[in-house]
Amino acid sequence: MTRRRPARSATADEMLATLGRLTDRARQGAERHKARVELAEALQRSMLPACLPTVPGLRVAAEYAPARNGLDIGGDWYDGFVLPDGSLGLSIGDVQGHDVEAAAFMGQVRIGLRAVAMATTDPGEVLRRANELLLSVDHGLFATCSFLRYDPALRELRSARAGHVPALWATADGQGGVVEDEAGVPLGILPGEVYPVASRRLPAGGAFVLLTDGVVEGPSYPIEAGLEAVTDVVRSAARRGTAAERLAEQVMGTAAFTDHTDDAAVLVLLQDTA
């Protein structure tokens, strides 16, 4: 019978050397993960506008927060651009999925909306044409979206919604609530879909806030509670005359209570008091 030698106990020096190698390996892995996270966030932010345009009488601001899991690139976006007639086109939306494919599709949707809006300024028609365009490329993904047109001469805001989270409104005297406009289905699902258009005049000092569901909904936080919390923030800010940039930050701050892991976007419109 052959006897096995008992395993030699590692010396303190050997244990320290092994620990050192494991620590170095972990540090290198952490640095590579951090680099991938930063790259993912940079890719996402590069697809959003560097700045938003302004038109007389209206202040516009936006905020974006990446997904908490850095490699889960999201598909949320916001956009703003001046249309040929001098009005302002605005969009906000959320693409299905959380990966590079979703982010790339988001870029296509955002640019597609811009292109379509150069041919028609009617928000419902913009969404209808964008929907048919997305169906024609047969990408397999869909997007929720709100598209708006602001006429500075009339102070009129016309909007249409494709399955997206409703907007919020508030007036300078502290009134406010959820905008209950009718919505069509998300873009890229059904051909021939019609998107109803709502029109409203923004009162002096009034706020109109659009957002994505990452701001108001979480794993154990219902969207109704999130919308109520943001409505309180918007009403209070409108009553105090808070600047658009500050209001966008405050609305995004409510996302901390939802324990969200999704990315999130906020778009704020404030009508001047003059």
- What is the band of 217 on the pLDDT scale with cuts at 50, 70, 90? confident
Give pLDDT, residue 131.
95
Domain count along the chain: 1
Confidence category of residue 127, pLDDT binned at 50, 70, 90 = very high
pTM for this entry: 0.82
> Domain for residue 35, yes or no?
no
- The pLDDT tens digits for 59-106 are 999 999 877 554 556 688 999 999 999 999 999 999 876 666 777 788
Q: Is 91 a member of any domain?
A: yes
What confidence tier does 254 reach under pLDDT thresholds 50, 70, 90?
Answer: confident
What CATH number corresponds to the domain at position 205? 3.60.40.10
In a domain, residue 260? The reply is yes
Mean pLDDT of 193-201: 96
Asked whether residue 94 is assigned to any structural domain, the reply reads yes
- 2 assigned to some structural domain: no
Residue 9 lies in a domain: no
Note whether residue 41 is domain-resident.
no
Which residues in 143-181 are b (16+ Cβ under 10 Å) and which e?
bbbbbbbbbeeebebbbbbbbbbbbbbbbbeeebeebeb
* Residue 63 structural domain: 47-271
How would residue 237 be classed by pLDDT, with cut points 50, 70 and 90?
A: very high
Average pLDDT of the chain, as a whole number: 84
Q: State the Cα angle at 82 between 175 and 235, rounded to 5°.
A: 10
